[in-house]
Chains A and B, each alone.
Chain A
Amino acid sequence: MRHLLTLLSLLAAASPAAAGLTVFTCEPEWAALAEELGGEQVEVYSATTARQDPHHIQARPSLIAKVRRADLVVCSGAELEVGWLPMLLRQARNPVVLPWRPGHFEASSFIKRLAIPAELDRSEGDLHAAGNPHVHLDPRRVAIIAEALAGRLSERDPDHADHYRRRHEDFARRWQQAIARWEQQAAPLRGVRAVVHHKDWVYLFDWLGMVEAGALEPKPGLPTSPGHLATLKQELERQPAAMILHTAYQSDRAAQRLSAMHGIPVLKLPYTVGGSERAADLFALFDETIERLLAAAR
């Protein structure tokens, strides 16, 4: 026990001083946004990559160590991370990033969420009481979140408030120009019907006026079945759809099966930053998403 205490004091003395703000994000889209707004003043780590399902992550040791040292935790919220973030926060013992502290930023709490269930029953699958949490695929909502996040960065690091304000002004200007361009390009997508794997695309569809023609998951989070695919196929025969969408973190097997049955193309979209080689930042993510949707809808 004496040895333990000696080791304890040695390690406490050796704790490194980080430069600027250390930001821990749950998903890569928020890491990209924090980098846009913070630049060289922030050191950003994302708990997940585009190849990982943000619903199902383990509170593994490396993540606990990262949260322990974070000045700011940025997550989607709305229960997307309910299976792992609460455990991570309890294990990391970092009081500044607890949910009620300024070091905790839940992106979805700043915007109007869609698909808030009227009734909560797990026979309806993995529903989120606070609404659909996949909020980053509507750039108008991202603009609102960016403003709130820039404000939070300044609050956490007041010495560099000017820096964050300048970067946010620059980002917001470029982002609004990009939105105008995307909306113009995406005009033909209005009313286009698409089958989705999971309800990841609610906010994208809300923005672009696209229509969800069904989901491969019979209920959110539950696996697809041959019976469900047959029902989907019948529905598609009555009311056709242009494509089947899935993300980089989902297997394309169910999508390919429906495609083989019904003949509409499968489209893998980056979904988030890093979901394809090209989608290296938020701008490229939407550029690619819209181009690929247009190509598939043609």
Chain B
Amino acid sequence: MFKKQAIPVALAAALLGSPAAYAAAEFNPEISLILDGRYQSYSNDSDYELPGFMLGGEAGRGKEGFNLGHNELVLSANIDDRYYGKMTTVIADHDGETEVELEEAFIETMGLGGGCAVKAGRFFSGIGYLNSQHPHSWDFADAPLVYQGLFGGALRDDGLQLSWIAPTDTYLKLGLEATRGARFPAGGSANDGAGAAAAFIKIGGDIGTSHAWQLGLSRWQAEVEERESGAGHTHGEESAHIHYSGDSDVTGIDLVWKWAPEGNATQQNFTFQAEYFLRNEEGEVEFAHEDESGSATLDGEQSGWYAQAVYQFIPRWRVGLRYDRLAADNRLSDFALSGIDEEAFAHETGLDNEGHDPSRTSVMLDHSRSEYSRIRLQLARDDSYEESDTILTLQYVMSLGAHGAHQF
């Protein structure tokens, strides 16, 4: 159909490629391994707490001294022309035993059309900005306090996600999730194992060639049945029994803005991001520890935000500054107590904010030899509770295997 022009036939043949040989160079499935290790030192040896927050999940400041962080093995591939699949396992030590945790295991449709996709399995919720990012792509060694306090690190559950991208020039994404609700901050798998739901909207675009932005709104809600938590602090050897049952909902807003001169991020770039979440809980709290026990009705409101800026000032070197702040206002009533008074009950369940708004300031410096390796030094002044702590973290995060593509 197309006329061959004046290229001599022999020369043209010498320059032609064979698409078949090309495809053979790709691996199936893609495998990548994330290696994360760190050294941390604390100036304060007392137990970690976030007054006003019933802690769960992976909340806390991590171990002191040398320790391994989030070592992950990731397998992913297109399953066929319709489905994509991914599994992430975390291999970590807990109390001297090596545990393998299934962090993510999901399938996602690729060919549905109309801008729609369905994701099913275990996945990080699409709420917020940082929530769906893996720890190895975080800009700091630890999660913001608001993620630790409200989600125990990150919101992740088993279920279904439906999302849609609008056919508009401005990026607009809508997502709905229905999930099991077995994990913190839900719990108990209410509604026969479909106890939690989420919705999110993201809009974004460019301003000129140097700026890109994204704004998100999120909502999550769950019916919680007997959620266990470690209160605002730990109880040494003998663990207390703290349960919450009732409604829980979280509303959030997130903003990210990225700058790179003429859109070329290799020399210099700057990222600002901020997120705010507000949680409302209305239900019953139960407490039992040795001969102390009781219950009360909770009308609680916990909120928090962080803002951070990361600047790559020369190739491969970045500095970052982050500020975290939380606040809790928990009202307890209808007490039924035995061997414990109202004040002690509020304290032991972690719901007493002790007149303190947790806050933290962190600075970091990191160096990336290539896009596969990063070494980071982080210093934080942590005012999570009344006694201040200075936390020094030296961390490496490296990846090997498949070339991971990161989201915005």
A156 at the interface (CB under 8 A from B): no
With A82-B403, A93-B116, A126-B370 known to touch, is A60 a contact of B204 (CB < 8 Å)? yes
List B residues 256-309 near A (Cβ within 8 Å): 258, 262-267
B383 to chain A, nearest CB (A): 34
| Measured CA separation A85–B406 after assembly (Å) | 10
- Total residues of chain B contacting the partner, CB 8 A: 72
Q: Which residues of chain A from 3 to 62 have a CB within 8 Å of any chain B CB?
A: 4, 7-8, 11-12, 14-16, 48-49, 51-53, 56, 58-62
Taking CB atoms and an 8 Å cut-off, the chain A residues in 57-78 that contact chain B are 58-62, 64-66, 68-69, 77-78
- Report A-chain residues with C-beta under 8 Å of the C-beta of B110: 90, 93, 95, 98
Task: Tell yes or no: B9 within 8 A of A by CB.
Answer: no
- Write out the residue numbers on chain B whose beta carbons fall within 8 Å of the beta carbon of A290: none
Residues of B within 8 A of A65 (CB): 165-166, 168-172, 205
A176 to B174 alpha-carbon distance, docked (Å):
49
Bound together, the chains give a CA A91 to CA B202 distance in angstroms of 13
Q: A56 near B165 (CB under 8 angstroms)? A: no
B84 at the binding interface (Cβ < 8 Å) = yes
In-complex Cβ contact of A165 among B2, B4, B369 (8 A):
B2
- Among the stretches B11-19, B148-156, B323-331, the one at the interface with A is B11-19
8 Å CB contact of B3 from A144, A169, A249: A169
Inter-chain contact count A-B, CB under 8 Å?
Answer: 193
Is B214 on the interface with A (CB-CB < 8 A)?
yes
- CB under 8 Å from chain B, chain A span 92-117: 92-95, 98, 100, 106, 108-113
Bound-complex Cα distance A48 to B197 (A): 38
How far, in angstroms, from A87 to B212 measured CA to CA in the complex? 17
Residues of A in contact with B (beta carbons under 8 Å apart) = 1, 4, 7-8, 11-12, 14-16, 48-49, 51-53, 56, 58-62, 64-66, 68-69, 77-79, 82-87, 90-95, 98, 100, 106, 108-113, 122, 125-126, 129-130, 138, 140-141, 143-144, 147, 150-151, 154, 161, 165, 168-169, 172-173, 175-176, 221-223, 249, 251
Instruction: Known pairs A65-B169, A169-B2; list 19 more (Cβ under 8 Å).
Output: A11-B168, A58-B258, A58-B265, A61-B171, A61-B203, A61-B408, A62-B171, A83-B403, A93-B116, A93-B117, A95-B110, A108-B17, A110-B19, A112-B15, A112-B17, A140-B7, A144-B7, A151-B2, A173-B5
